[in-house]
Amino acid sequence: MKLAMPRFDQAPVLVVGDVMLDRYWHGSTQRISPEAPVPVVNVQQREDRPGGAANVALNIAALGAPAYVVGVTGQDEAADALSERLTAAGVASQFQRIATQPTIVKLRVMSRHQQLLRLDFEEPFNTDTDALAADVEQLLDQVKVLILSDYGKGALKNHQALIQLARARGISVLADPKGCDFSIYRGASLITPNLHEFETIVGKCHDEAELVAKGEALMHELELGALLITRSEQGMTLLRPGQPELHLPARAREVFDVTGAGDTVISTLAAAIAAGEELPQAVALANLAAGIVVGKLGTAAISAPELRRAVQREQGSERGVMNVEQLLVAIEDARAHGEKVVFTNGCFDIIHAGHVGYLEDARREGDRLIVGINDDASVSRLKGPGRPINSVDRRMAVLAGLGAVDWVVSFSEDTPERLLEAIRPDVLVKGGDYGIDGVVGAPIVQAYGGTVKVLSFVDSCSTTAIVEKIKTQRD
């Protein structure tokens, strides 16, 4: 399946549901309490994160998509903390605040990255459903997808009214269901139960055929547009009326914490659909995102660079030949991961041992090596008639196959100055026996604080010398 990063910046999504605050108290444990056989935690760090429906909205914003969230909270410090963190992340929040009830808070006591205890502060909300629907209706014209993030805490009591409001405007409705009655999600575009939630409704599924059959029956009964069953280590299964089932394997390399994985799935799925992706591609992106998030501690958001890198890895395009636009995206991702970018350039007409050694040395100057290569016309201008011997496509293919090289890009000018201004590498490397002042593009790189270095080629290796030797032997 061909995957690409969607235009998330053009994919506004509204999340409605049970917002909560996830609190983490971190500390060391060095002794057992004399009062009871439990560890004593010396709390040294406190951290607040948006949870529940708020975490779904946070994930959407982290992907670069406009995110809105409507929910119910108390009139308390926890609600203020939740609102502040969402605003800081770029999420527009609108809460129905109830003074007589507390904001839902889940407090986790952590030590050495292990959860020792969780304390929940909550009670079912007495939601004003008409006011909530009015808040949602005001925002629907600004979004392309509506998510019902249902944790069964009381914020969502009028599912059908919200579904009908959205569908009347042609807006897709995605629901993360809870409870033993899925009829409240009738008419949704897609629901995303996990396997346990699905089997609670339809009964135990003993094999794939039974799971598919029961899923199709549920879709027909509830008039659903699609059904996505998340199955933990067995991946995901997408069912659509009249189409073959799609099974996607789990993508996690290492499972550290499954907290919030469902939020990541539905948020990525919704943002991809809002960006215009077809459902199978959107599900595949959500599957990749879930594989990333379970390797993190606690509720965590997946950033656009993280997902983009996973997509590139999936397509085998993390390295190799690129155009300038693709290269700029790759550089953005590299820097988002704290990587230093190195650039060098040349004609590289006949790759020889000197080139290979030089490029390996250049790669050691940073984490990613870009090689800019003169196109055929500029090589002819620089080297004279009969050059290049190898076309630019062949030269780029050979360079891309070297282990030291991450990305190869061509340029048509005689010098790479315009390319340097666009990509702004951290380090500019050039091979030769001249000083830094003689390196083309050095002033450009030095002006923004980059580094310029001159490295030596292997002695007695040069393309010109090789060409002359071939000519001599031929004559």
CA distance 453 to 436: 7
263 is catalytic: yes
Q: Can you spell out the DSSP letters for 86-133?
A: HHHTTEEEEEEEETTSPPPEEEEEEETTEEEEEEEE-------HHHHH
CA distance 266 to 149: 9
| Residue 235 burial by Cβ neighbours in a 10 Å radius (0-12, 13-18, 19+) | middle
Gap between the terminal Cα atoms of the chain: 54
List 135, 150, 263, 376, catalytic entry:
263
CA distance 167 to 345: 55
Report residue 281 as tokens: 């591609």
Which has the closest alpha carbon to 198: 172, 160, 164, 237? 237
CA distance 240 to 216: 8
CA distance 283 to 305: 18
Dihedral sign from CA coordinates of 95, 97, 103, 104? negative
Report residue 38 as tokens: 């439990």
CA 237 to chain CA mean position, Å: 21
Bridge partners of 462? none
Which has the closest alpha carbon to 228: 264, 183, 193, 267? 193
CB 130 within 8 A of CB 45: no
Percent helix, strand, coil in the chain, to 5, is 40, 25, 35
Q: Which residues contact 326 (CB under 8 A, 6 or more apart)?
A: none
Report residue 104 as tokens: 């839902």
Q: Which residues contact 289 (CB under 8 A, 6 or more apart)?
A: 264, 265, 268, 302, 307, 310
Report residue 74 as tokens: 């108390």
CA distance 470 to 475: 9
CA distance 418 to 409: 13
CB 248 within 8 A of CB 236: yes
Reported as type and span, the H/E element at residue 321 is: strand 320-321
- Active centre residues (catalytic): 263
